[in-house]
Amino acid sequence: MVGLRGVGKTVLLDQMRNDAELSGVHTIRLEAPEGRSLPAILAPQLRLALLRLSRIEKAKALAQRALRGLAGFATALKLTYNDIEVGLDLEPEPGLADNGNFEMDITALLEAVGRAAAGANVALVLFIDELQYVPEAELGALISALHRCSQQKLPICVVGAGLPQLRGRAGNAKSYAERMFDYPEIGALPVEAARRALVKPAEALGVAFAPRAVERIIAQTRGYPYFLQEWGKRAWDAAERSPITEQDVVAAAEQAVAALDESFFRVRFDRMTPMEKRYLRAMADLGPGPHRSGEIATKLGRLVTALAPLRNGLIGKGMIWSPYHGDTAFTVPLFDEFMKRIMPREDWLTQ
C-alpha cells in the first residue's frame, strides 16, 4: 500500500498502472472528485474488475460471490450515498457486505474481491488519484478494509495519489495508517533532472538549448514539471533557430505566465470565496512561504482562531497545506505571484 503526494503525481500514477498491467496485475484506475462518495467511484470499477476475474475458470465462483456482495453493498448504502450507480444482474447474498455500515461493508466486500483475485492467482491494485478529496470517515473505512485484507494476505492493495495534505488526512482517518503506507513525495525536480527534461526531448529533434536558457527556465519554474513543459513549449515556439537562447526564454516567459494565469491558476482561483481569496492574497503578500498561521492572521487583522475554519476549508480544496504544525504553504509554486497579479490593488483587504 503506497500513498503518493506532490507534483507530477498523476503522470507517475498512470505509469505505475501501465507497468502493473504489463506485469499481469489486474488494475482499477479511479479519480476521487469533490462531491462524490467513495462508494460511488469504487462500485462501478469493482464490478468491471470482478467481471474480468469471473472469466477465469478457477476464480469464477469466487468472483460471482463477490459480485453478489457488491450488489448487496450498493443496495444497502444507496440511501446513505445516493450517488451510487451500478447495475448488477445477480441477486445479493444476504449478510455479505449489506449491513449499511460503510466500514463493515467495504471490508467484507474487499475481502471477497481479494479472495477472487487469489483464486485467479493474480493481484488487484486500485490506483486512486486525488485521494485527498475523500472524506476522512470514508478514507478511514478504506484503510481499515485494506488492513484486514493485508492481515488475510489477500492480493489486493491501493496506490493513492494526492496533494501534500494526504499524509495528514490518512493519519487522522486511522492512526495506524502511517505503518501501512509508504509516502514517497514527488516534489520539484532537482536541477539536473529538470535540465534533462528540457534538453533531451529537444535533442531528439535536432534542437539545442543554450545553457543560460536552461538556467533561466529552471529558475523561473522552480523545477515544477508542468511549468517546465509550459516554458519549454513557449521557448520552442519563440525561437527562430537552434540553439534556443536566453533571449528566446525571456520573450516566451510572458506568454507562459499568461497561459498559466488563464487556465492552471485561474481554475483554482475561481473555486474560492472572496474571504478565501483575501486569505491567499495575504499569504502572497508575505512571500512564497511557508508562513506561520499567526503571520497570516496579523496581515489580515484577525485572530488565528477566527481564521481556522477558513484555513481548513482551503486545505480541503487543495489550495494550501501544512508542511509543519502551524505552518501554511501553497500547494503549487508561483501561486503567490499569481495572486498579486490578479488582486493587485492596494485595497485588496477590503475587496
CATH 3.40.50 applies to domain 2-186: yes
Q: What's 271-350's CATH class?
A: mainly alpha
User: Angle of helix 102-119 relative to helix 136-151, nearest 10 degrees?
Assistant: 40
Query: What's the CA dihedral at 183, 187, 192, 194 to 10 degrees?
Result: 130
Q: What is the pLDDT of residue 33?
A: 81
Q: What is the pLDDT of residue 8?
A: 62
Q: What is the pLDDT of residue 3?
A: 47
Neighbour-count burial for 55-87, b at 16+ CB within 10 Å, e otherwise: ebeebeebbbbbbbbbbbbbbbbeeebeebebe
> Cis (ω within 30 of 0) for the bond into 243?
yes
Q: Which residues of the chain have pLDDT under 50?
A: 1-5
191-268: what fold? Answer: Helicase, Ruva Protein; domain 3 (1.10.8)
Amino acid at 150: S
Q: Is residue 233 packed enough to be buried (19+ CB in 10 Å), middle (13-18) or exposed (0-12)?
A: middle
Grid cell in block for residue 252: 516566451
Q: What is the pLDDT of residue 253?
A: 92
Domain with CATH 3.40.50 in the chain: 2-186
Domain with CATH 1.10.10.10 in the chain: 271-350
Locate cell 489580515: which residue?
A: 300
Tens digit of each residue's pLDDT (9 = 90 or more) over 243-288: 999 999 999 999 999 999 998 999 899 989 999 999 999 999 999 9
Locate cell 501501465: which residue?
A: 18
Q: What is the pLDDT of residue 147?
A: 93
CA nearest neighbour of 111 among 52, 66, 56: 66
In this structure, the number of other CB atoms found within 10 A of the CB of residue 242 comes to 14
Q: What is the pLDDT of residue 25?
A: 85
Q: What is the pLDDT of residue 79?
A: 64
Tens digit of each residue's pLDDT (9 = 90 or more) over 42-93: 988 999 999 999 999 999 999 999 999 999 998 888 867 777 777 677 788 8
